[in-house]
């Protein structure tokens, strides 16, 4: 018997996302309709709606979990028509969720193979892809009303912070590889306050996982 992915998608929203206080109607609507399997390699498509980390391509990159990306997108608190930067966009699923909510989305990816897969998966959408070092952000398209990091960072790159609009929100999982717990941080405004939203753990984004400080 073949797996009913539409039913699995519905169950993901109802059993993984909604119970964790994700209530944004625009986000829930696109979560119900956007096929996540489109953004995964064939062997992993049956697991598209599981609550386990899923590899993205041969790069070793690991996807965020549904609870993670849903809560983080909601925390951006962006309004339709506003501009969002997705850092470490991978194959474009989170970027597509945001585009489906009516946002103007820029997808930043450093891995050309993942970006190519993402560009193919998002053909026909308004998403703009950029391929470069993630630390650089997209200064030519700044400021952004929201900036989302799709993986862990040991610290938020200063260029990305500077690209946040005065009234915007930046959301990222902050921690080093092998940390057992990582806080999800939201920074409001280019020089605004920083708050911890919840705790989780995620794989680091390439080039954004600094080594542990050396101690004598």
52-97 pLDDT, tens digit per residue, is 999 998 878 999 999 999 999 999 999 999 999 999 999 999 999 9
Query: What confidence score (pLDDT) does residue 214 get?
Result: 46
CB atoms within 10 A of CB 155: 13
Provide, rounded to the nearest whole percent, the portion of the chain with pLDDT above 70.
95
In sequence order, the β-bridge partners of residue 85 are: 106, 147
Band (3; pLDDT cuts 50, 70, 90): confident
What whole-number distance in Å separates Cα of residue 3 and Cα of residue 8? 8
In sequence order, the β-bridge partners of residue 195 are: 186
Band (166; pLDDT cuts 50, 70, 90): very high
What whole-number distance in Å separates Cα of residue 124 and Cα of residue 10? 24
Q: What is the mean pLDDT of residues 145-169?
A: 96
What whole-number distance in Å separates Cα of residue 61 and Cα of residue 111? 10
Query: What values do phi and psi take at 17, rounded to 5?
Result: -95, -55
The answer, yes or no, to whether residue 216 has pLDDT greater than 90, is no
The answer, yes or no, to whether residue 141 has pLDDT greater than 60, is yes
Query: What values do phi and psi take at 8, rounded to 5?
Result: -65, -35
CB atoms within 10 A of CB 90: 27
What whole-number distance in Å separates Cα of residue 178 and Cα of residue 35? 31
Query: Helical H runs in the chain?
Result: 5-12, 25-33, 66-76, 93-100, 112-121, 158-162
Burial of 123 (0-12, 13-18, 19+ CB in 10 A): exposed
The single residue of 15, 50, 59, 63 carrying the catalytic annotation is 63
Query: What confidence score (pLDDT) does residue 47 get?
Result: 96
Query: What confidence score (pLDDT) does residue 212 get?
Result: 58
In the chain, DSSP assigns E strands to: 55-56, 61-62, 83-87, 104-109, 128-131, 144-153, 164-174, 182-188, 194-200
What would you measure as the largest C-alpha separation in the chain, in angstroms?
60
For residue 196, give the 3-state DSSP assignment: strand
Contact 141, 164 (CB under 8 A): no
The answer, yes or no, to whether residue 151 has pLDDT greater than 50, is yes
Please provide the average confidence, as pLDDT, over all residues in the chain.
94
Query: What confidence score (pLDDT) does residue 1 get?
Result: 44
What whole-number distance in Å separates Cα of residue 125 and Cα of residue 143? 21
Band (190; pLDDT cuts 50, 70, 90): low
Query: What confidence score (pLDDT) does residue 189 get?
Result: 86
Question: Does the annotation mark 63 as catalytic?
Answer: yes
């Amino acid at each position: 018997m073949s797996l009913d992915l539409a039913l699995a998608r519905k169950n993901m929203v109802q059993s993984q996302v909604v119970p964790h206080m994700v209530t944004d109607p625009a986000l829930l609507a696109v979560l119900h309709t956007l096929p996540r399997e489109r953004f995964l390699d064939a062997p992993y498509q049956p697991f598209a709606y599981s609550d386990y980390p899923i590899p993205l391509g041969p790069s070793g990159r690991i996807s965020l979990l549904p609870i993670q990306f849903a809560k983080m997108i909601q925390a951006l608190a962006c309004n339709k028509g506003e501009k969002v930067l997705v850092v470490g966009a991978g194959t474009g699923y989170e970027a597509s969720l945001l585009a489906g909510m009516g946002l103007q989305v820029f997808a930043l990816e450093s891995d050309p193979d993942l970006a190519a897969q993402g560009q193919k998966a998002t053909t026909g959408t308004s998403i703009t892809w950029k391929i470069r070092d993630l630390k650089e952000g997209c200064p030519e398209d700044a400021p952004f009303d929201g900036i989302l990091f799709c993986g862990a960072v040991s610290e938020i790159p200063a260029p990305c912070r500077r690209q946040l609009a005065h009234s915007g929100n930046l959301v990222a999982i902050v921690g080093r590889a092998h940390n057992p717990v990582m806080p999800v941080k939201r920074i409001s405004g280019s020089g605004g306050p920083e708050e911890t939203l919840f705790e989780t753990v995620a794989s680091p984004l390439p080039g954004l996982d600094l080594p542990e400080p050396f101690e004598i």
